[in-house]
Every structure is written in C-alpha cells, then in structure tokens.
Amino acid sequence: MSKLKSFYIILSESNLVIEHHQGTLNVDSYIKFKKQLLEDPLFKTNMNYYIHLKDVFFSTTKPDIKKYIKYMASIYDIIGNRKLALVTSTPNQVVPITIYKSLEGDLNQESKIFSTTEMALHWLNIDDESIESIINTISEYK
C-alpha cells in the first residue's frame, strides 16, 4: 500500500472527531497526525471519535502499539474521556486494534470495533438525521 493519507473533520455540534485514513499506517505517522489534530482550534477535550480504517494496512508491532498508548497517556489532559468507534474490514486491521484494546488500560476511553459506519455512529449516540449528513460529509472529503 501507499504512504498514509489522512484527514479529519471536527463536528463540534455532535462532539465528534471523524478520522479517515488510507494507505500504510505506522505509529510515527499516526502520532504526527494526532498532533496536528490536537492543534486544531475546534478540538476540545472529551470529544468522541469515529475512525475509518477500512483503507489502511497496519505496519505496526506490539512495541509500536505500546509507544502509541504511552503517547496517548501523555496527552490525557488534552483528550479527556472519550469513546472510539473503529471501523475496519480486514484481519490486518482488526489484529492491531485488538492488541491496542487489550493494552489501552487507563486511557479513560471506551473503544469498539465495527464493520459499518452506521453502527459505529449509532454506538456514538449520533442521531439518524446526523448520521446521513456525516456519511455525506465523509464522502465529500474522500
């Protein structure tokens, strides 16, 4: 796969960050992406996340995942409590996320893996009308 291409959308009215990634994801590229996101003036503590990973190939190891968790723990005061809906489609995507979930420990977040956008957004308590709008917004950015 190609180099990681990522974008995010912050929907303040829904208390939601949408992340969409495509290409090869490694820990350093993802941490760099997170740092950019946290600098956005629309970002606020305790936002929930919809993270689309269906177009990603993970190039990560267990030590990489631990490095990412350590980074997330270091910025806890910035990110706060949150829910993460992780949308995947292949074993290459599910395995590292499952390892992440088993190691995330005290990050004060609840994460769950989904195969569809609709189910992920419902779990994040997004209403049906907003789900359709969010799906259309994501399509515009792709």
**Which tens digits make up the pLDDT trace of 48-96?**
999 999 999 989 888 998 898 889 889 988 988 899 999 999 877 876 7
pLDDT at 92: 72
Q: What is the pTM of this model?
A: 0.89
Question: Residue with structure tokens 């209403």?
Answer: 127
Share of the chain above pLDDT 90, in %: 59
CA dist 14 and 115 (Å) reads 21
CA dist 36 and 140 (Å) reads 21
Domain 5-141 belongs in CATH node 3.30.70.260: no
7, 33 in Cβ contact below 8 A?
Answer: no
Query: What residues contact 131, with CB distance under 8 A and at least 6 apart?
Result: 117, 118, 121, 122
Structural domain boundaries of the chain? 5-141
Going by the DSSP 8-state scheme, the letter that residue 125 receives in this structure is T
pLDDT at 35: 96
Backbone angles phi, psi at 86, to 5 degrees: -105, 115
